[in-house]
Amino acid sequence: MVNRCCDRPALSPLARLAQRGVPHGNRGHDDAYDHTRLSRCATCGSGVVESHSHDCWDPSDHSSWDMYWWWRIDPADMDVVLELVGDCPAPLKPGCDCRLHRGLGASTPPAGALSRETPYEKAPVPAAKVRIDDGIPGWA
Ligand SMILES: [Zn+2]
Ligand SMILES: [Zn+2]
């Protein structure tokens, strides 16, 4: 869908880190929905973090409904991420209670300059890293 790491991205989902609410258009949707997801590119080995925030509280202004943030994780920084995902019993379950989900699902990476955009625009993507602090992973 979108090029966030290299010229020939081949992203596959690695983990659903967090999810709040019911997606727009689905039964039970109540204005707000957001999620944070982690993918890995088979071409370049980078990780891609996507955070989506939806709020349709104001029906007159569609342009304000959806916001996207993207980060890229260097292939060299993916080892620790893959290890955490490997230790998680359910990487695609946002409610999982393992340290991957507790650590990385609680927040998003620090937003760099201009990381807010729709997925259809091209802009430099800030880099993110995972750092383990006292056994609990966090974004750096
Ligand atoms: Zn790539
Ligand atoms: Zn987990």
Q: Is the pLDDT of residue 125 over 80?
A: no
Q: Model pTM? A: 0.85
User: How far, in Å, from the CA of 107 to the mean position of ligand 2?
Assistant: 15
User: How far, in Å, from the CA of 136 to the mean position of ligand 1?
Assistant: 27
Which ligand lies nearest the alpha carbon of 45?
A: 1
User: How far, in Å, from the CA of 66 to the mean position of ligand 2?
Assistant: 26
Under DSSP, the state recorded for 42 is: T
> 3-class DSSP state for residue 27?
coil
Return all residues near 110 (Cβ < 8 A) that are at least 6 apart: 128, 139, 140
What is the Cα 15 distance to its own chain's centre? 9
Weakest mean pLDDT among 10-14, 67-71, 121-125: 121-125
* DSSP labels, 56-77: -S-TT-GGGSEEEEEEEE-GGG
Given this model, what pLDDT does residue 87 score?
96
Average pLDDT over residues 74-84: 96
User: How far, in Å, from the CA of 64 to the mean position of ligand 1?
Assistant: 29
User: How far, in Å, from the CA of 57 to the mean position of ligand 2?
Assistant: 31
Residues forming a β-bridge with 41: 11
Residue 33 burial (CB count, 10 A): 21
Q: Is the pLDDT of residue 64 over 90?
A: no
pLDDT band at 59 (very low <50, low <70, confident <90, very high): confident
Residues forming a β-bridge with 37: 16, 50
Q: Is the pLDDT of residue 2 over 90?
A: no
Q: Measure Cα distances from 63 to 55, 60, 80, 116, 124 in Å.
A: 10, 9, 37, 13, 22
Residue 55 burial (CB count, 10 A): 15
2-6, 49-53, 62-66, 136-140 — which one is most confidently predicted on average? 136-140
